[in-house]
Amino acid sequence: MTLVHGLSRRAVVACVFCALVGVIGTAVVFVLSGGYAIERIAADGLLGLMNSELGNLCRQEPERFVWRTPSGGWAGFYDRATGLAANPDAPRADDDLIARLGPDRPAAARIIPGGSGGGAYVAGLGESGPCSLYYARWPSVPNARPVVIAALLLFMVLAAAFSGFFALRYVTRPAFRRLESVASSARQVGEHAPAADVERDELSVVADSLSWAHQRIAADRERLDERARALEGHLADLAHDVKTPLTSLFLTLEGIAGDPLAGADAREQAQLALGDAVYLAAIVDNQRLDSQLKHDATSAADQQYESFDLVEVTWRVVRRYRLVARGRKVAISDDISAPTAVVTGSAVLAEQAIANLVQNAVTYGDGHVKVTLRAVAEGFELIIEDDGIRLDEETLSRLGTRHYRSDAARTRAPWGSGLGLAITRAVARRLGWTLAFEHGLNNGLVATLRGEVGLESHTTSHTTDGTVQRERS
């Protein structure tokens, strides 16, 4: 709308300028050429009179052809040679006007501003004689100049208004409507096919270019979508193919780490290898989820999610990383006391989001990680806190940014990619949860996930081996 209003203002200014130029130009042309034309026309008319019988009457009784006008002026026939009239009461003709007459100028006139004479006019009808010169002199009309100026200004205003109305009504407004239709087509490029251009004018070239651009963008988007789907399918197949040997590797390493007959060194190496295997599985899952989250624009509200038990998912993650943490000499404690933990969403996404937080705490904690899941008035609150180094405010504010890693994180774990926390933040946004990072009471990091729970409630008990038993009520 700013563009339209700006163009409208410029169009009106242009119309006013054109009207002023027209009026002033007309006045200048009239002064320079119109006055001369009137002088010539009047002189030719007077010559015609002198060539008729009226001329003979003037020469016989010249005093009768000089008279005083009702407004106080004089008009009549004079002797060009002397500048005097046969009527003794008539004033003398202006010598300067008579001097202007010549072979190419049979008449002359001038306007006398102010004073008793408003103007004078002479026309040469011969070289000498009582009827050889026509002379007229008229007084100024009182208050005539303000009236003329006001009339001229009124005419200029009306001319400018009419010009502006004509330009806006028949030129500018149709052009604006045409520009708006082309702008609307431009906004649809890439999303919807622009409407067919039914008007063929100067802007049709732009409309045709927009239509061609839309077709090209749509084709490019389709190719990119095909590539994205192919990449997502490739990552999904890779994750599926890697999961099978990794699962076998997990079981084998867990068996070695928990076998009392294996040596202490073997159990320790198995625990370290188990941590590396878990990290490798997390990388594969995060890459697959990252591809899905980036190329799937469907919001959480539009997806068909199932209900799942967040307590079970959390216990599954804690059990998986407890043995990994033991290899890093980090203990994981839990306080999972939420009586109601049924949420709606994707259990796969939720598990990976929680696993990334626990893995980050195990990686950067010094010796202890605590996982807390409790019910709050708004739903649930899942807290993962570690006792690692205290982060500065800039690092804390940038946690969850894709591929961001602080210098301290690179020093402790140089193999990280900075993707895990970004995946967790994206999953939380997708599931309608919130993720917050803050300092611990002493050192370390506290990550908090909050969200709503469903209507189902459970009574939860934990067995000695870490599995979950629950009764639904």
Q: Which residues are 122's β-sheet partners?
A: 108, 135
Which helix (H) or strand (E) segment is 65 a member of? Answer: none
Low-confidence winner among 33-42, 182-191, 303-312, 370-379 (lowest mean pLDDT): 33-42
> Which has more pLDDT, 349 or 41?
349
Report phi then psi at 449, rounded to 5: -105, 130
The DSSP element (H or E) to which 376 belongs, if any, is strand 368-376
What residue spans define the domains of the chain?
Answer: 1-51+143-188, 64-141, 298-472
Q: How far apart are CA 51 and CA 67, in angstroms?
A: 21
Which runs of consecutive H residues, i.e. helices, occur in 297-336?
A: 310-327
Average pLDDT on 394-403 reads 81
Write out pLDDT tens, residues 55-93: 888 888 888 889 888 878 888 999 999 999 999 889 999
Q: What is the mean pLDDT of residues 388-414?
A: 75
C-beta separation of 120 from 83 below 8 A: no
Helix (H) or strand (E) holding 328: none
Mean pLDDT of 180-200: 67
Of residues 21 and 452, the one with the higher pLDDT is 452
For the residues 43-53, what does the mean pLDDT come to?
74
CB 352 within 8 A of CB 286: yes
Of 28-42, 156-170, 299-313, 389-403, which range is least confident?
A: 28-42
Rounded Cα distance between 185 and 178, Å, is: 11
* Alpha carbon distance 219, 213 (integer Å): 10
Assess whether pLDDT exceeds 50 at residue 109. Answer: yes
Please name every residue paired with 124 in a beta bridge, in sequence order, or none if there are none: 133
Handedness of CA 376, 471, 358, 434 (dihedral sign): negative
Phi, psi of 356 (to 5 degrees): -65, -40
Q: What is the CA radius of gyration of the chain?
A: 51
Percent of the chain with pLDDT over 70: 65
Which alpha helices (H) appear in 259-296, and where do they start and end? 264-295
Instruction: Name the pTM for this structure.
Output: 0.46
Task: State the CB neighbour count (10 A cutoff) for residue 27.
Answer: 12
How large is the angle between the packed helices 173-188 and 2-29, nearest 10 degrees? 150
* The pLDDT value given to residue 460: 41
Nearest-angstrom CA–CA distance, 255 and 267: 9
The pLDDT value given to residue 102: 85
Average pLDDT of the segment spanning 158-171: 71
- 266-322 pLDDT, tens digit per residue, is 767 776 676 667 766 676 677 667 666 765 644 443 455 788 889 989 988 898 888
Structure tokens that stand for 175 in this block: 């052009």
Distance, in Å, from the CA atom of 96 to the CA atom of 113, rounded to the nearest integer, reads: 16
- Residue 169 binned pLDDT confidence (cut-offs 50, 70, 90): low
User: What is the per-residue pLDDT for 447?
Assistant: 93
3-state secondary structure of 80: coil
Name the average pLDDT for the chain. 75
At residue 330, the 3 state secondary structure works out as coil
Strand 368-376 and strand 331-336: the pairing is: parallel
* Separation between Cα atoms, residue 197 and residue 470, nearest integer Å: 66
Provide the CB-side half-sphere exposure for 292 (13 A, CA): 18
Q: Is the pLDDT of residue 382 over 90?
A: yes
Contact (CB, 8 A) for 188 and 194: yes
pLDDT in tens, 319-363: 888 877 877 788 999 988 766 678 888 888 898 899 989 988 888
- The predicted pLDDT at position 51 comes to 74
Residue 10 pLDDT > 50: yes
Higher pLDDT, 9 or 374: 374
pLDDT of residue 461: 41
List of residues 6+ apart from 68 with CB closer than 8 A: 74, 89, 90
pLDDT in tens, 417-444: 677 888 899 899 888 899 999 988 778 8
Residue at 100: amino acid letter? R
Q: Which residue in 243, 309, 242 sits closest to 472, CA to CA?
A: 309
CATH fold of 298-472 = Heat Shock Protein 90 (3.30.565)
Give 210-242 pLDDT, tens digit per residue.
777 777 887 887 888 788 777 766 666 666 566
Nearest to 432 by CA among 351, 372, 350: 350
DSSP state, 110?
E
